[in-house]
Amino acid sequence: MSAPRLGQVEGPSFEGPILGDRYQLVARIGAGASAEVFQAYDHRLNRLVAVKRLRSGFANDPRFLKLFRSEAHLAAQLSHPNIVTVHDWSDGTDEAGGRATGTPYIVTELLTGGSLLDMLRQPLPLTASQVAFIGLQAAQGLAFAHEQRLVHRDIKPANLLFGRDGRVRIADFGIARAVAEAAWTEPEGVLIGTARYAAPEQATEGSVDGAADAYSLTLCLLEALTGQVPLVRESALGTMVARQSEDVPVTGALGPLAGPLAAAGRADPARRSTATQLLDGLLRAVQDLPDPEPLPLIDITAMADGGAELGTDNGAGPAGEPTDMPLPKADSGPRPRSWKWFMAAIVFVALAGGALYGGMVVGNAQPETTVIELAWPRFDVPDYGSMTAEEIVAAAEEQARWSVEITERYQDETEPGEVLAQSPRPGTRLLAGDQIGIVVSLGPELRVVPRLVGLDRQAASDAIVSAFLAVGEVVERSDEEAAAGQVLEATINGTPARPGAEFVTGTTVDLVISSGPAARTVPSLVGLTVDAARGEAAEQQLELAVTEAYSETVAEGQIISSDPEAGAQVARDSTVSVVVSLGLPFITVPDVTGKPASEAADILEQAGFVVTDTEGAPNRPVLVTDPPAGESRRKGSTIRIVVQSN
């Protein structure tokens, strides 16, 4: 069967290839050097979407795929009225082995109002008020993304898309960086969008922040105002060289817009306005501008199956000229109300933190549209909080043929499938055929397990808490290698908590902490020689400290005592002090000269000597002793007494 017209849903019997067992390609609505864009039918949620399928060459570039996965994951979490909603994505590899099984693609909301590039191809130029209106919305989307630390890196007219409501959405968050870093030029050196609108710092290897996006948006707005992109040379290299030292030229002829655009077009990113500052500058500028005219929206149904790619490249052919294509028809879009209303809407979004709401421009329908809509019945929006996404889609269709825009995100303290927010709020009177926005939980945030093994206990606990996980049971275990307090194991539910693994917020991480080497038992050393004692101590990985002392009970050379005593538990490599016997102590022979021999014998024996002989009568006075008085002998040594003769 033939493909349905863009925007028409005829049921799940479409013909065409199916991606991911879900998205059936219906009609090609754009093509460029790096990707093709298709209208597709989502069989799971019964809705039309846009599928951007990258060229097959990207599937074989490991560096691109790695960056694509990271960027697409972040982009899918963005939820803001001025950023294209990313529903799904695939890197084109199988889940098991990481092998390329197809081409990478990304699934977004389907927008049918064309791009800023399409508007710039129309014969009538945009007015300053229209450009400011576009710039305010784009700057607001960039400011929100930069708050989430996500930089686009490829802002250009083809990436500023419009819905039929006239609202600007920034496209290609999630693949712009990956595609931009894969190649800077087309074959034969043709200057493409990536370099044509690039900030000067993007030509270097340094880091790029949100200031680069503000610079690129400024070039887009200046092109919309003047018809020319400033500081463009014949080659990408020449362009980037020129932008290194020259600020973007902005003249006073641009009126109130000159100041904020000049500040955001400075070559030095440190002096350049951020997206938030550019937004503030544009808000001040529009106070001196008239209300904006209706935007010349482009009906991209005229571009189906041919034409320039939307939101990937600049639609230029090999020579840099637009490719031959049916000229899309312009359509005056919804007319914004006064600047006062628009600024109030921006303040609302800033306070709401970018949450879903009924649409910044949807409420600005031009009078003709309003008259038509008033003829339709209005219905009260119910509270969908207790329903599943599938139930909400069915109920909305049955009640008033409302389409449902479903955004999924992780949020702590929620259950998967839980409705987190809806827009409009319950009780709002809504026209039949309008759109409901639902935010559905994917469950608690997934947190990455940090590296824990090898850290000390405090550092590991801090890392766990910083990762929004919880410290669970902490047990100690001896280890011969790890120092006391060092983490030996980290587990979650009994399995190793490997670094990089993802678990929901608050998951408990149990730790095993080293208590150091196992304790040693002091062996029995008393009575051993020093050499024997050293051997016993070495077997327990203990050291021996030796001191000596005289002993009347322990033989010379044997250990008298140990400290700690045998059986005590001590740390490995501890020192055990032992006392080694020097044998009996030495004593000095007392002077007993002149004393009766019997008395002298008593004195000498009390001193510790053994009297073996007395030469002479025991009642005669002592003449000398052998050994003589004053000499030192071991206790227990023998001594002889010699008495005086008559």
Domain boundary among 444, 468, 491: 444
- Asked whether residue 43 is domain-assigned, the answer is no
- Asked whether residue 460 is domain-assigned, the answer is yes
Indicate if 313 and 397 belong to the same structural domain: no
Q: Taking 80 as the threshold, does the pLDDT of residue 183 lie above it?
A: no
Indicate if 467 and 426 belong to the same structural domain: no
Task: Collapse the DSSP code of 619 into the 3-class scheme (helix H, G, I; strand E, B; otherwise coil) and give the result.
Answer: coil
How confident is the prediction for the chain on average, in pLDDT? 82
The model's confidence at residue 185, banded by pLDDT at 50, 70 and 90, is very low
- Asked whether residue 600 is domain-assigned, the answer is yes
Task: Collapse the DSSP code of 561 into the 3-class scheme (helix H, G, I; strand E, B; otherwise coil) and give the result.
Answer: strand
Q: Taking 70 as the threshold, does the pLDDT of residue 1 lie above it?
A: no
CB atoms within 10 A of CB 168: 28
Indicate if 284 and 359 belong to the same structural domain: yes
- The pLDDT of residue 56 is 75
CATH number at residue 317: 1.10.510.10
CATH number at residue 454: 3.30.10.20
Q: Which amino acid is at 520?
A: R
More confident residue, 368 or 229: 229
Contact between 259 and 128 (Cβ < 8 Å): no
In the chain, count of helices (H) and strands (E)? 15, 31
- Asked whether residue 23 is domain-assigned, the answer is no
Q: How far apart are CA 476 and CA 478, in angstroms?
A: 7
Indicate if 500 and 557 belong to the same structural domain: no
Indicate if 400 and 537 belong to the same structural domain: no
- The pLDDT of residue 99 is 60
Indicate if 552 and 634 belong to the same structural domain: no
Q: Taking 80 as the threshold, does the pLDDT of residue 308 lie above it?
A: no
The model's confidence at residue 247, banded by pLDDT at 50, 70 and 90, is very high
Q: Taking 60 as the threshold, does the pLDDT of residue 312 lie above it?
A: no
SS3 sequence of 105-127: EEEECCCCCCEHHHHHCCCCCCC
Residue with tokens 């909080």: 385
C-alpha distances in angstroms, 132 versus 256, 257, 366, 489, 575?
Answer: 10, 8, 19, 58, 82
- The pLDDT of residue 298 is 83
Indicate if 422 and 399 belong to the same structural domain: yes
More confident residue, 374 or 85: 85
- The pLDDT of residue 176 is 64
- The pLDDT of residue 350 is 42
Who's near 110: CB < 8 A, 6+ residues apart?
7, 39, 48, 49, 50
Q: How far apart are CA 377 and CA 364, in angstroms?
A: 19
Q: Taking 80 as the threshold, does the pLDDT of residue 329 lie above it?
A: no
More confident residue, 556 or 165: 556
Indicate if 217 and 340 belong to the same structural domain: yes
| Average pLDDT estimate for 316-328 | 33
Parent domain of 562 = 520-581
Q: How far apart are CA 346 and CA 343, in angstroms?
A: 5
Could you give the residue numbers annotated as active site?
154
- Asked whether residue 36 is domain-assigned, the answer is no
| pLDDT over 70 percentage in the chain | 80
Q: Quick one: 83 exposed, middle or buried, by C-beta within 10 A (0-12, 13-18, 19+)?
A: buried
Indicate if 314 and 353 belong to the same structural domain: yes
Who's near 435: CB < 8 A, 6+ residues apart?
359, 402, 403, 404, 405
pLDDT, tens only, 123-136: 888 999 999 999 99
How many residues belong to the chain? 646
Most confident of 9-23, 291-305, 542-556: 542-556
The answer to which of 47-61, 74-88, 182-196, 199-213 has the lowest mean pLDDT is 182-196
Indicate if 461 and 414 belong to the same structural domain: no
More confident residue, 622 or 335: 622
- Asked whether residue 71 is domain-assigned, the answer is no
Residue with tokens 């030029």: 185
pLDDT, tens only, 407-465: 999 998 889 999 999 999 999 888 666 789 999 999 988 999 999 999 999 999 999 99
Q: Taking 80 as the threshold, does the pLDDT of residue 344 lie above it?
A: no
Q: Taking 50 as the threshold, does the pLDDT of residue 200 lie above it?
A: yes
The count of domains in the chain is: 5
Q: Taking 50 as the threshold, does the pLDDT of residue 307 lie above it?
A: no
Domain boundary among 341, 375, 409: 375
Contact between 114 and 328 (Cβ < 8 Å): yes
- The pLDDT of residue 432 is 63
Q: Which amino acid is at 13?
A: S
Q: How far apart are CA 282 and CA 533, in angstroms?
A: 89
Q: Which amino acid is at 361?
A: V
Q: Taking 50 as the threshold, does the pLDDT of residue 314 lie above it?
A: no
Best CA proximity match to 327, nearest among 297, 306, 295, 303: 303
The model's confidence at residue 11, banded by pLDDT at 50, 70 and 90, is very low
- The pLDDT of residue 474 is 96
Q: Taking 60 as the threshold, does the pLDDT of residue 305 lie above it?
A: no
| pLDDT over 90 percentage in the chain | 58
The model's confidence at residue 303, banded by pLDDT at 50, 70 and 90, is low
The model's confidence at residue 4, banded by pLDDT at 50, 70 and 90, is very low
Domain boundary among 499, 514, 529: 514
The model's confidence at residue 13, banded by pLDDT at 50, 70 and 90, is low
- The pLDDT of residue 180 is 60
- The pLDDT of residue 5 is 44
Indicate if 144 and 224 belong to the same structural domain: yes
- The pLDDT of residue 371 is 23
Q: Which helix (H) or strand (E) holds 544?
A: strand 543-549
Q: Taking 70 as the threshold, does the pLDDT of residue 71 lie above it?
A: yes
| Average pLDDT estimate for 544-569 | 95
Indicate if 362 and 399 belong to the same structural domain: no
- Asked whether residue 84 is domain-assigned, the answer is no
Q: How far apart are CA 546 and CA 562, in angstroms?
A: 9
- Asked whether residue 44 is domain-assigned, the answer is no
Based on C-alpha coordinates, what's the Rg of the chain? 45
